[in-house]
Amino acid sequence: MALGRGLGAILEEVGQAYESEVGASSYNQGEAIREIDVSEITPNPYQPRKNFDKHALEELSKSIVRHGLLQPIVVIEKDNGYLLVAGERRLRAHKLAKLETIKAVIAEVDIDDVKLRELALIENIQREDLNAIELAHSYDELIKVYEITHDELSDVVNKSRSQITNTLRLLSLSSYVQTKLTDGIISQGHAKVLVGFNEKEQKLLVDTIIGQKLSVRESEILAKRKRSSEEDVQEDVPTKSVTFVGSYEKKIKERLPFAFKVKNNALEINFKDKDEIEKFLNMLPK
């Protein structure tokens, strides 16, 4: 399935109604906007946005009660009711205010489940309504469903390839770190420096970042030090464990009553006096 034409078609189909959301003054015909019952609207089941700021919703709800809804939602007729296409926050704010009706543009377009998912993903990505993890999942879904590259997705959503790639890397983080990011306890900049560490290390680092209230720059330095210390340990361990003579060090120590050193595949024996040399020579088979 190709993303280009299919997605372009759906955006074009609802484009006129979607662009009209900037305000009621954009409409020339009175029937373009209708008041419909909130109870008759079903949310988009493919809405990628899972987290809605409670405080922000309350503020929007109060604003709508005081000033009215300036940007109507977009719906389509479906199953003896309406299916939401755009305006999830506005619909939730109406429900919070216990308002029975809402201004809506009813788009007369045929949208199947695939196109509905496309529109929900693109709307949220382009409007930057998603948190970093939700955005990463949206990118990932589009790439997998349409089998496209990061470069191709970049052209579709008007984001740089590096931004897409860096965001997708967040999905490799542990659920513990992802939750901290989603809840706004750490920023995306903080989360990015944790990519590449194992789950235990991520928890240790993120708890340190939070506990010490480190900036992104300070977190980068912390992560760099952690990686450097691990590299030093990895460089030291193999020298002793993989060498042939080193593997016999314990047995040599048990049988050789002299001071010695193991260096790579060399055995260096240090004799204190002539007596030790004579003793060593007597140990050798004649």
pLDDT tens for residues 51-106?
A: 677 787 888 888 888 888 878 888 888 778 888 877 888 888 898 889 888 888 88
Task: Return the pLDDT at 70.
Answer: 78
Q: Is the pLDDT of residue 240 over 50?
A: no
For the chain, percent of residues with pLDDT exceeding 70? 69
Residue 269 pLDDT level (bands cut at 50, 70, 90)? confident
Residue 128 pLDDT level (bands cut at 50, 70, 90)? low
3-state secondary structure the chain: CCHHHHHHHHHHHHHHHHHHHHCHHHCCCHHHEEEEEHHHEECCCCCCCCCCCHHHHHHHHHHHHHHCCCCCEEEEEECCEEEEEECHHHHHHHHHCCCCEEEEEECCCCCCHHHHHHHHHHHHHHHCCCCHHHHHHHHHHHHHHHCCCHHHHHHHHCCCHHHHHHHHHHHHCCHHHHHHHHCCCCCHHHHHCCCCCCHHHHHHHHHHHHHCCCCHHHHHHHHHHHHHHHHHHHHHHHHHHCCCCHHHHHHHHHHCCCEEEEECCEEEEECCCHHHHHHHHHHCCC
Query: Looking at residues 150-166, what average pLDDT do you find?
Result: 85
Higher pLDDT: 48 or 217? It is: 217
Task: Return the pLDDT at 178.
Answer: 93
Low-confidence winner among 9-13, 85-89, 225-229 (lowest mean pLDDT):
9-13
Nearest to 139 by CA among 185, 110, 170, 176: 170
Mean pLDDT of the chain: 76
C-beta of residue 42 within 8 angstroms of C-beta of residue 113: no
Query: Looking at residues 245-272, what average pLDDT do you find?
Result: 71
CATH code of domain 3-162:
3.90.1530.10
Query: Looking at residues 144-165, what average pLDDT do you find?
Result: 83
pLDDT tens for residues 191-220?
A: 999 998 999 999 999 999 999 999 999 999
Query: Looking at residues 21-30, what average pLDDT do you find?
Result: 39
Task: Return the pLDDT at 243.
Answer: 59
Query: Looking at residues 152-167, what average pLDDT do you find?
Result: 85
Q: Which of 120-124, 165-169, 265-269 has the highest mean pLDDT?
A: 165-169
Query: Looking at residues 18-42, what average pLDDT do you find?
Result: 60
Higher pLDDT: 18 or 269? It is: 269
Against a cut of 0.85, is the pTM above it? no
Task: Return the pLDDT at 235.
Answer: 52
Query: Looking at residues 241-268, what average pLDDT do you find?
Result: 67
pLDDT tens for residues 12-24?
A: 444 444 444 434 4
Residue 43 pLDDT level (bands cut at 50, 70, 90)? confident
Residue 229 pLDDT level (bands cut at 50, 70, 90)? confident
